[in-house]
Amino acid sequence: MKILHTSDWHVGKVLKGQSRAEEHKQVLAGVIEIAHAERPDLVIVAGDLYDTAAPSPEATRLVTRALTALRRTGADVVAIGGNHDNGNALDALRPWAEAAGITLRGGVRENPAEHVVDGVTATGERWQLAALPFLSQRYAVRAVEMYELTAAEATQTYADHLGRVLAKLTEGFTEPDRVHLVTAHLTVVGASTGGGERDAHTVLGYAVPASVFPGTAHYVALGHLHRSQRVIGPCPIRYSGSPIAVDFGEQENVCSVTLVEVGATSAARIREVPVAAAVPLRTVRGTLAQLAAADPPEGWLRVFVREQPRAGLREEVQELFPRALEIRIDPELLPTPGSGTRVAQRAGRSPRELFADYLGSRGHEDDGVRDLFDELLEEVER
């Protein structure tokens, strides 16, 4: 059978105030085009369909239309909730999804059988997929208790709970003539972050070892980390990565989907298919003179200016690069902690003195900024 694995769409993403709705339309159109060309038997969307738990009507329309279009290619479609998604809101769409022939699992349900999806391809290959949406630490404990496994103890870790839940969902992975699959939205120890993931859900407390996945699985389709990559473990484990660079920390990532060909008695063959529809993200560095002499690169820009801070600098850079979404002083020019800069003592000091000390600590000696501060202070004190 052939599987198209994608994740982390983050539809509704706004980057530094810039809507990316049109880019998402093009990117998802590219994913659908790949599905038409490759004719997969199964499409797995491994979480973070949306960028926010309260998506706009436009974002909801785009996601539901993309899922419908993927289903119309003839593939079975399974999508799970990620840490950016509202699991209950996704589950509220299940009647629509079921009518459209789409399997949608937003949150963990009380009956573990609801998270085990069975199917058969047009050529007769039988498959079974354990679909685990994102679980917070609190709900991981609840899921363990729900499934009547061992009592959840306060000293047990998130990884312990996830291991028990996955063991329950995959306990039927014993039939030799069936392809056994897992999809989940989580962080695996040793995998590389892509740059735009939510930090609170990638720290070590949320990381699980690859050993939580059974050796009987033919393929594990993961979401959450935005860089496409293989994870070493007891079975083939992979993050598809995001098909769109979510922020400037991901500008070097290769945006793609993953194609997998696997059988009950044959090992998974995996390849990446690039998705190149999104506007690129680029970082530019230089002095104002260097920036003025350079040709503006294509894409959304982050500009690190190699100048001392002063009033009006941002506006000058913005005039040179209208597509600059983020303009900052190059971090290499900023004083580092403990470099001998003065630390303002608050007691008995006026706001003007404190602000002057702050400017000095940041290497910012522009009189225009101090004058503006004085004007604002006078307005406040009237």
Q: Specify the pLDDT at position 363.
A: 66
- Per residue in 55-102, pLDDT (tens digit) is 999 999 999 999 999 999 999 999 999 999 999 999 999 999 999 999
Residue 278 has pLDDT above 50, yes or no: yes
Does residue 154 register a pLDDT over 90?
Answer: no
pLDDT tens figures, 93-102: 999 999 999 9
CB 81 within 8 A of CB 114: no
Contact by Cβ (8 Å): 179, 127? yes
Which tens digit of pLDDT belongs to each residue from 338-353?
Answer: 544 444 455 567 787 7
Predicted pLDDT of residue 60: 96
pTM above 0.85, yes or no: no
Distance from C-alpha of 158 to C-alpha of 169, rounded to nearest angstrom: 17
**Span 251-275, mean pLDDT?**
95
Q: Is residue 178 a contact partner of residue 158, using CB atoms and an 8 Å limit?
A: no
The superfamily CATH assigns to domain 2-274 is Metallo-dependent phosphatases (3.60.21.10)
Within 8 A by CB and 6+ apart from 359, the residues are 365, 366, 369, 370
Please state the domain extents for the chain: 2-274, 281-333, 351-381
What is the chain's mean pLDDT, rounded?
A: 88
Q: How many residues does the chain have?
A: 382
- Per-residue pLDDT averaged across 278-306, rounded? 91
C-alpha closest to that of 238 among 254, 263, 218: 218
Handedness of CA 306, 311, 314, 316 (dihedral sign): negative
Say what the pLDDT of residue 157 is.
78
